[in-house]
Amino acid sequence: MSSAVSGERVTIYDVAQAARVSTATASKALNDTGRVSLETRDRIKRVARELGFRPNSLARSLTRKRSFSVGLLTNDTYGRFTLPLMAGISEGLIDHGVSVFLCAIGDNPDLARIHVDAMLDKQVDGIIATGKRIDRPLPVDLTHLSVPVVYALTAGPSNGVTLVPDDRQGAGAAVRHLLAQGRRRIVHVTGPCEFDVVHERALACTQALAEAEAATEAKVLFGSWSEHWGHQAVEALWSGADKPDGIFCGNDQIARGVVDALRERGVSVPGDVSVVGFDNWEIVAKETRPPLTTVDMNLKELGRQAGLALMRLVNGEAVETGVWKLPCSLIVRSS
Amino acid sequence: MSSAVSGERVTIYDVAQAARVSTATASKALNDTGRVSLETRDRIKRVARELGFRPNSLARSLTRKRSFSVGLLTNDTYGRFTLPLMAGISEGLIDHGVSVFLCAIGDNPDLARIHVDAMLDKQVDGIIATGKRIDRPLPVDLTHLSVPVVYALTAGPSNGVTLVPDDRQGAGAAVRHLLAQGRRRIVHVTGPCEFDVVHERALACTQALAEAEAATEAKVLFGSWSEHWGHQAVEALWSGADKPDGIFCGNDQIARGVVDALRERGVSVPGDVSVVGFDNWEIVAKETRPPLTTVDMNLKELGRQAGLALMRLVNGEAVETGVWKLPCSLIVRSS
DNA sequence: TCGATTTGAGAAACCGGTTTCTCAAATGGA
DNA sequence: TCCATTTGAGAAACCGGTTTCTCAAATCGA
């Protein structure tokens, strides 16, 4: 416990001297490797503890050729997806003594290149690439790096490891929830059709409805990812005949717009119409009146898995390539 | 350009050999230090470029005792404040070749300790502490570390360097904007009174109103940081006499609630009442109908400054201690 | 009891750079 | 022309660890 405020850091040399052994023996004792008697080993460990010895990670990395740090490259400026992911990665890796360099590269290829080079110079053991769109790659090529790369929430090469939420399963759960509420006239109000996830989710809607024999094809309205579009969609739907009794929205902001618009029209949620969102962006979903039932992509868990997958690659273990789809969870609130 | 796909990394030894000099000379040439003839220097640099030499940052750090990496400790799980800050720090430091380790520690002191130790083992040059509340410290003591620490958006020790937005100036600008719109019956709807910033901003309101001789004291309603509170506040205000014609809100979510509630009551914004928010959380502010005029805390710039201040400390330069208040900007939209 | 094997520990090389110190050659001044 | 100074470059030590190799002492088997 002592350790004292000895200005300078305690090195393994100090420990060796205090324990009257060579640095070689000290190193072996502390790492539980090599031939050292139990007695000596314990003594060295005790001395190290007393001196408050903490090995210099840089020196260790130099010989071990493992820096115990990884890089996280992100595209996402708001941090809405990145921070939960980051938290998961960090949580999964801290047990391995691994720290995470975060680089916000925006959409700037030059900046991305600079950051990637900086990471490689710092000898990161691997890189996790993440973005805000699953169907778009980052503005930098990571395929010929000397370190393994894992892709999360962004497009990766087909022979790489890519982790994404299972949009289809999530959307299916949302629609089945609406069906379970007795809703039959279900509409999907979603984002721009340029997004792959939009199609995935629409497809899942159709499948879920078909399974329940509620409809042969889901009615889908494409728009933008905004609250404003939620309002517009309700206006369009309620100006026609055949008004829906269940609405599944492409994200929580659209759902928020939909719920607000319905309330303004005097339509009761969930009395007359049930609404389900997507993302479980708590700050939106919980503040909606009534609080929004929505799909959570379990980004933290996804981050954890991405981190662990990267570690396996770093350790040379086999990892199944391709796209891993991780399950989403339905968060049932009052809408 | 060649460099080839030579599997292994190019070391300074390779460069030295190719240029027919010693590693000592190579190092001096590449770093523009020591005694080397211009001719030799150029040749070595050219060879290094041709071979695609990139110095191993770990090895360099070991001798230089500078790792060119810093740690960012954060409390904020949503990342709403952290990511803009992070982007600013990163932007300010990448020119210095410095990378940032991000650690999300939540409110867990043990986790915080583990992360701090991990950073120190990795020989970070310094640490930036950030949180979601300016009047609360992180759950870990950073005062006796061997590396300099800068605090941003979180409470630091009085002899430390702390950067925060100038809430008073920002709030003053907001109120003066309302006054300039011809508003005189101004109310401040804000968060819980346990927050220091709440008082700072309230005080600034009073001052601004006093300067304009519009009132001797600002009317302030304390509540929570939610949209819901915005609704409640409007209900309370409109059920009494003396309805306001200008509302300055403690954050954009409250403002959002206020604007929605006013619209539901048929009160025109900005026709009858002007509303100003705080935070410029674009995803809320831009989606409000009408788009919200609000105060931006310039977090990215704050991050940049924090990073640069830390660098100065690392380089042993003098840095003024105490609380630095950085200016906020009023973002004028339609409310 | 004696040679063969195992054990414990240290010397030294190494990782990939930086830096100090040394020294021969080139230059300068008288 | 001769000595003092400057210049350019390399040898070697170093940063703080890890790892291989060596070797004397202890243990083992016959």
A190-200 tens-digit pLDDT: 999 999 999 99
Distance A22 CA to D29 C1' (A): 33
Whether A334 is in a domain gets the answer no
Contact B322, B155 (CB under 8 A): no
For residues A195 and A286, state if they share a domain: yes
Q: Predicted confidence band at A298 (pLDDT cuts at 50, 70, 90)? A: very high
Contact indicator for A8, A52 with CB cutoff of 8 Å: no
Partners of residue A103 in chain B, C-beta under 8 Å: 90, 99-100
Query: Residue B212 domain-assigned?
Result: yes
DSSP string, B186-201: EEEEE--TTSHHHHHH
Residues A155 and A177 in one domain: no
Query: Is A172 inside any structural domain?
Result: yes
User: Residue A240's pLDDT is what?
Assistant: 86
CATH number at residue A178: 3.40.50.2300
The reply to whether A181 and A290 lie within a common domain is yes
Query: For the stretch B282-319, what's the b/e string if a residue is b when 16 or more beta carbons lie within 10 angstroms of its beta carbon?
Result: bbbbbbbbebbbbbbbbbbbbbbbbbbbbbebbeeeeb
**Residue B89 falls inside a structural domain:** yes
Confidence category of residue B68, pLDDT binned at 50, 70, 90: very high
* One domain, residues B307 and B160: yes
A-B CB pairs within 8 A amount to 129
**Cα B286 to chain center, whole Å?**
21
For a pLDDT cut of 70, what percent of chain A falls above it? 97
Asked if residue A287 and residue A223 are part of one domain, the reply reads yes
Cα-based distances in Å from B231 to A143, A291, B253, B259, B269: 52, 15, 10, 8, 15
Above 50 in pLDDT, residue B19?
Answer: yes
User: Which two three-digit tokens encode residue B287?
Assistant: 């989606």
Looking at the structure, do residues B21 and B127 belong to the same domain, yes or no? no
Residue A3 lies in a domain: no
In a domain, A205, yes or no: yes
Distance B127 CA to D10 C1' (A): 40
Amino acid at B283: I
| A1, part of any domain | no
Domain co-membership, A179 together with A276: yes
Q: Do A120 and B54 touch (CB under 8 A)?
A: yes
Judgement on whether residues B106 and B68 belong to the same structural domain of the protein: yes
CA of A96 to C1' of C5 (A): 39
Phi then psi for B77, rounded to 5 degrees?
A: -80, -30
Closest residue (CA to C1') to nucleotide C7 in the complex: A35
CB of B300 closer than 8 Å to CB of B88: yes
- Which CATH number do you get for residue A16? 1.10.260.40
B306-334 average pLDDT score = 94
Per-residue tokens: A30 = 């502390």
Judged by C1' against the alpha carbon of B28, the nearest nucleotide is: C18
> Is residue B196 situated within a structural domain?
yes
> Total domain count for chain A?
3
Query: Distance from residue B55 (CA) to nucleotide D12 (C1'), in Å?
Result: 21
Could you report the per-residue pLDDT of B262-297, keeping only the tens digit for each? Answer: 998 999 988 999 999 999 998 889 888 899 999 999
User: B45: domain range?
Assistant: 12-55
Shortest CA to C1' contact from A35: nucleotide: C8
Residue A160 and residue A97 in one domain:
yes
Whether residue B247 is found in the same domain as residue B268: yes
Mean pLDDT over A93-121 rounds to 93
B37's CB contacts (< 8 A; 6+ apart) are none
Beta-carbon separation of B77 and A87 below 8 A:
yes
Report d(CA B315, CA B324) in Å as an integer: 20
Strand nucleotide closest to residue B35 (CA to C1'): D8
Residue B151 to residue B164: CA distance in whole angstroms? 9
Q: Residue B7 has which token pair? A: 């599997």
Q: How far from A230 is each of A15, A273, B67, B254, CA to CA, in Å?
A: 66, 14, 50, 21
Task: Name the nearest CA neighbour of A138 among A147, A146, A128, A148.
Answer: A128
The sign of the dihedral angle between the CA atoms of A148, A150, A156, A159 is: positive
**Closest CB to A99 among B55, B97, B119:** B119
Quick one: B102 and B222 in the same domain?
Answer: no
Inspect the interface and report whether the beta carbons of B83 and A82 lie closer than 8 Å. Answer: yes
Please write the tens of the pLDDT for every residue from B80-132: 888 899 999 999 999 999 999 999 998 899 999 999 999 999 999 999 999 98
The predicted structure's pLDDT at residue B275: 96
Which percentage of chain A shows pLDDT scores above 90? 79
For residues A51 and A116, membership in a common domain is answered with no
Mean pLDDT rounded to a whole number for chain A: 91
